[in-house]
Structure 1
Amino acid sequence: MNETDIRKMAADVLAGIAPEADLSTVGDDEDLREALDLDSMDFLNFLIGISERSGRKIPEADAPRLQTMRGLIGYLQGANANA
């Protein structure tokens, strides 16, 4: 899974949770929750959607690593590299 695929997947998942949120306005190092005004349940649903779409189990303990686009991309590319 490349960076473009991950960004598209994240945007698609986000559209189902917070349709008004625009991922393209968020910098790679910005906290997704703050930048997109996601509450804890929205963010949890976002991670569940990413997990389902990517086919990768995301343990709750890893959630802090996925709070930015850079973190999400690195995490999923790292998971793919180790698969």
Structure 2
Amino acid sequence: MSDDPDLPPDSPPPVPPLDPIPEPDPDPRAGRAAFDRRMLEALVCPQTQGPLSYDAERQELVSRAANLAFPIRGGIPVMLADEARTLD
């Protein structure tokens, strides 16, 4: 039973609102959202299924096996071959 006089008797108690999903912490060096390096452990190259390395300066995930660099935008890796840059 609720103690709130605005609710009918026998109504369930109100559900508290959910906390908002926090935004990624900004990267003060580049003015961009920071990439969570722990995510690197779970990600693989979409073409070779091989490991990726993180290039913080260029904000990219690099696949040496595929010769591609995948951009990170707003802290989120874009793992699409069409969006990737071919390595020099």
TM-score (normalizing by structure 1): 0.29
- By relative contact order (CA 8 Å, sep 6+), the higher-ranking structure is 1
Question: Is the helix fraction higher in 1 or 2?
Answer: 1
Larger radius of gyration: 2
Query: Which of the two has greater strand per residue?
Result: 2
Q: TM-score, normalised by structure 2?
A: 0.28
